[in-house]
Structure 1
Amino acid sequence: MKITFWIFLFIIFYTYVGYGIFLYALVRIRRIIKGKRNSNFDLTNLPTCTLIIAVFNEASILEEKIKNTKELVYPDGKINFLFVTDGSTDESPEIIKKHEGISLMHSPERRGKIHAMHRAMNEVHTEIVIFTDANTFLNKEALINIARHYQDRTVGAVAGEKRVQIDETADATAGEGFYWKYESALKKWDSELYSVVGAAGELFSIRRDLYIPVPPDTVLDDFMISLRIAEKGYRIVYEPDAFALETSSASISEELKRKIRIAAGGIQSVVRLKSLLNPFHNFVLTFQYISHRVLRWTITPFLMIAAVIINAIIVWQTGEWLYMVLLAGQILFYALAIIGLTFEKRNIRIKALFIPYYFCVMNYAVLAGIKRYAFAEQKVTWEKAKRK
C-alpha cells in the first residue's frame, strides 16, 4: 500500500509540477547541444493568409472586434478576412455586412462551430489559415508573427498565446490567469523541445493543404485539427508574440462550464488520437502528449482522491509521522480550497486561497467531463461561458 501511495503521489506531482521541471531541463540540454531554434525570418516573403472568425450572437462586441481586425498588420493583397455567423439570431450578420474588406458567410441553421469552420474552409485557397474567436482581441503584429514560422517546411501549425485579462476586483478567476501563465511557459518549452501538443481556439493557424476535417461531433475542434497535423510528422510551433486577449470568466461557476466541456472534449480526443499514444511512431511527441495532456484528462484526478484515502489508511494502520504529515498537508490544501469556495460565495477576495480552489475546480471538471463524455451528454453546440 505504501508503494502504491508513493507511485500515485509521484504521478500527481509529475502531472502538475514535475513535467514542467523536467521539460525545462530537457530544453536547456537541447540548447547546449543544438543551440536555440532558428528565429531569423524573411518578413518580405510572407505567405497568403485568411483570418477566419467564428461568430455566434456577438453583436454587442462585434464593432470592437472588427476594428481590432482591421488594425492587424499584414502585407496588402495577401490577407483575407472571413466572418462566419452560422446560427446567429441577433444583428451579427448585419453589423458585418456594413464593413468593407470583410467577407461574410451566414447560415440561419446552428450546427456548431466545427460545421461552420468546415464550410469556411471550402472557400479558402490561401497558403495558411488563422482561426480566432469573436470575443478575443489580437495584438497588431499577431498575423505576421504567426505567418513567419511557415518558412520552415517542418512547421504545419502555429499556436498563438492566450492571455487572460484579470482586473483588480477579480475573484476566484484569478486562478485562471495564473493557470494560463503556467500553461504558456509549458507551451514555450514544448515548442522548443519539439512541438506543442494541441492549439487553443482563441488563436491558432495551419497550412491550408494540411487541413483534415474532423468528425462533426468533435468538441475540441482546435485541438483535434492541430494534432491531426502533428500526427503527419509536422511540428506545432508556439508563438507568444502573437496573442489573443480576453477577459476572465464572469465567475468560477461560468469557468466551470467551460472546463467541463474542455474535459469532455479532452477524453474524446484521447480516445480518437490513439496513434499519438504509440511511442514507436514519434517518441518525443508521445512523451509530450502524455505528460502534458493525457495524464491531466484521464487518471490523475482519480489518483488525487485515491492518494488521500490510501494515506489515511496507512496512518490508521501504522501511525508513522511521515504519513501523518503528508495526510495533514493534503487535508490543509483541500481545506484552503473549501475556504476559497466559501469566500467566493461571500464575495470576500483573498487571491492566495483561489489558487487551490481553482486547482480543485479544474480537477472536478475533469471528473464531470469524463462522466459527460461516457453518457454522451456533451453536445457540439454549447452555452458559452459568460465573461467579465
Structure 2
Amino acid sequence: MAQAIFFISAALLLYNYLLFPAGIILMARMGGSKVAETLSTASESLPTVTLVIAAYNEERVIEAKILNSLDLDYPVELLRILVVSDGSTDSTPQIVQRFQNKGVLSLHDPERRGKTAALNRAVASATSDIVVFSDANNIFDKNALRQLVKHFANPRVGGVCGLKQIYHSAERESSQGDSLYWKYESAIKESESRLGSITNADGEIFAVRRSLYQPVDNMLINDDAEITFILIKQGYRVLYERHAVSHEQASIRIEDDFHVKVRMISGGFQTIARHWAFLLPPRSWFAFNFVSHKLLRWLAPEFMILIAISSLWLISSPFFLAMIILQGAFYALAVLGWITREGIGRRAVFYIPFYLCAMNLAALHGLWRFLAGTQTTQWRKAER
C-alpha cells in the first residue's frame, strides 16, 4: 500500500508539473497553428469597449493607471474608462474625479462588499460591445486593447485574456518566483488556447463579450474563474493573447504573495465545489485540462506530504532511502532560499525550491480555509 501511495502521488506530481505542460505544448505546436491563424483575422470595424478598473484604496497607483489607460492606442470615441472604487477609505475616489473632464467615470460606494459585487455593478452600467477588466496596479502596453478585441471578430469567442508580466526587481522578494511562474503559466495557456480554451482567465487583463456576461455571485472569491466558466458553459471559447501585455510589480514581501495565493487557491476549491458536476469526472476537453492544470496543481502539497510519509515508511529499502535523501536535500535548499531570499544575493538553486515550497504551503492553507469556510471575498492588500 505504501509503495502504491508513493508511486501514484509521485506520478500525479510529475504529470502536473512536467508531463501535462510538455504534452499540451507539443500538441499545440503540432495541431494548433491552423486555429491560431483563423483567429488572427481582425474585423475592419473596432468594437466599443468599456475598460473597468477595480480599485480598493489605490491612491498610490490609480493616477498612473488612469494616465496609462488614456494613452492606449484605441479610438477615444469607442473607449469608456470606468473606475469602481467601492469601500475605498483613502483618496482614490477623489483622484478619479479629477479625470472626469477626460471621460473617466467614477463609481464609488462607501460600503465594501468585495470585488465581485463591484464588478457586477460596473458591468451593469456598461453599454459597450466588450468589457475589459483590469486592476489599478496593472499597466497595459499601448496596443493591448487592439490585441484583445481582434479575436472577437470570431463569433464563437466569448473572452480573451492577455499576458501578465512581472517587473524585475532585485529588492522585491516575490519578483523572481512570480516572473518564472507567469512565464510557465503563459506557455501552458497559449497552448490551451490554440487547442480550445484556457482553463482560467486572469482578471488583470480580461476582455469579455458584454452580452454574454452574467452577474457573478457576490460570495465567490475568484470572479475571473467564474466568468470563464460562464462563457464556457454557454459554448464560447476563452482565448489567450500573448501580445496583449499587462505589467505589474511583484509583492515586496513573500508573506504578502503567500496570502494572495491562499486566497486564490481557497477560491479555486470554491470554484470546483460550485462546478464539480461539470468537471468531475472530466467529460470534455476543457474539464480534462482544468483537472490536469489546476486541480492537480492545488493538490500538489498533499502529494508531497504523501511522498514523504510513504518514503519514511519504506526507508529500509535502498530506493526509498535514496528518495528520503533527495527530498531532504530539496527541503534544505528551500530553507537556504528562505534565508537568502532578500536582495540581490539570492540564487535560483536556493530560491526556486523555497518559492515552490512557499506556494505549496499557501495551497495547503488555501484548502484548509476552504474546508473551514473562513476565507471571505475581501482580500488582504499586498504591499507593492
* TM-score, normalization by structure 1: 0.93
Q: How far did residue 202 of structure 1 move? A: 0.9
Correspondence 1:146-295 to 2 at 5 A = 146-171=148-173, 173-278=175-280, 283-295=284-296
Task: Write the distance in 1 (CA, Å) between the matches of 2:35 and 2:67.
Answer: 40
Task: Write the distance in 1 (CA, Å) between the matches of 2:160 and 2:233.
Answer: 15
Q: How far did residue 212 of structure 1 move? A: 1.5
Q: How far did residue 346 of structure 1 move? A: 9.6
Match status 1:46 vs 2:46: yes
Aligned residues: 381
Correspondence 1:339-354 to 2 at 5 A = 339-344=336-341, 348-354=345-351
Query: Which residue of the partner structure matches residue 29 of structure 2?
Result: 28
Counterpart of 1:366 in 2: which secondary structure?
A: helix
Task: Write the distance in 2 (CA, Å) between the matches of 1:381 and 1:3.
Answer: 41
Q: How far did residue 349 of structure 1 move? A: 2.3
Contact 1:173 1:354 in 2 (8 A): no
Match status 1:337 vs 2:334: yes
Match status 1:12 vs 2:9: no
Q: How far did residue 4 of structure 1 move? A: 2.8
Match status 1:359 vs 2:356: yes
Q: How far did residue 348 of structure 1 move? A: 4.7
**AA matched with 1:358:** Y
Q: How far did residue 280 of structure 1 move? A: 6.9
* TM-score, normalization by structure 2: 0.94
Contact 2:173 2:343 in 1 (8 A): no
Give CA-to-partner distance per residue, 1:278-299, whole Å, 9 cap, x none. Answer: 5675x211111111111122x3
Task: Write the distance in 2 (CA, Å) between the matches of 1:27 and 1:12.
Answer: 22
Give CA-to-partner distance per residue, 1:196-234, whole Å, 9 cap, x none. Answer: 001111110111111121211111111111222112221
Give CA-to-partner distance per residue, 1:175-199, whole Å, 9 cap, x none. Answer: 1111111011111111111110011
Q: How far did residue 168 of structure 1 move? A: 3.3
Match status 1:328 vs 2:319: no
Stretch of structure 1 that moved more, 246-255 or 38-47: 38-47
Moved over 6 A (4+): none
Counterpart of 1:38 in 2: which secondary structure?
A: helix
Give CA-to-partner distance per residue, 1:233-255, whole Å, 9 cap, x none. Answer: 21110011111100111111111
Task: Write the distance in 1 (CA, Å) between the matches of 2:312 and 2:327.
Answer: 10
Contact 1:50 1:81 in 2 (8 A): yes
Superposed CA RMSD in Å reads: 1.8
Task: Write the distance in 1 (CA, Å) between the matches of 2:60 and 2:35.
Answer: 48
Q: How far did residue 344 of structure 1 move? A: 3.0
Q: How far did residue 36 of structure 1 move? A: 4.5
Structure 1 residues 374 and 150: alpha-carbon distance in aligned structure 2, compared to 1, 3 A threshold: same
Counterpart of 1:17 in 2: which secondary structure?
A: helix
Task: Write the distance in 2 (CA, Å) between the matches of 1:361 and 1:71.
Answer: 38
**AA matched with 2:240:** Y
Query: Which residue of the partner structure matches residue 70 of structure 1?
Result: 70
**AA matched with 2:56:** F
Task: Write the distance in 2 (CA, Å) between the matches of 1:181 and 1:146.
Answer: 19
Q: How far did residue 144 of structure 1 move? A: 0.6
Q: How far did residue 2 of structure 1 move? A: 2.1
Task: Write the distance in 1 (CA, Å) between the matches of 2:282 and 2:337.
Answer: 44
Q: How far did residue 41 of structure 1 move? A: 2.2
Stretch of structure 1 that moved more, 218-227 or 347-356: 347-356
**AA matched with 1:77:** E
Query: Which residue of the partner structure matches residue 57 of structure 2?
Result: 57
Structure 1 residues 169 and 91: alpha-carbon distance in aligned structure 2, compared to 1, 3 A threshold: closer
Identity of aligned residues (%): 35
Q: Which runs of 5+ in 2 are unaligned?
A: none
Counterpart of 1:273 in 2: which secondary structure?
A: helix
Contact 1:160 1:239 in 2 (8 A): yes
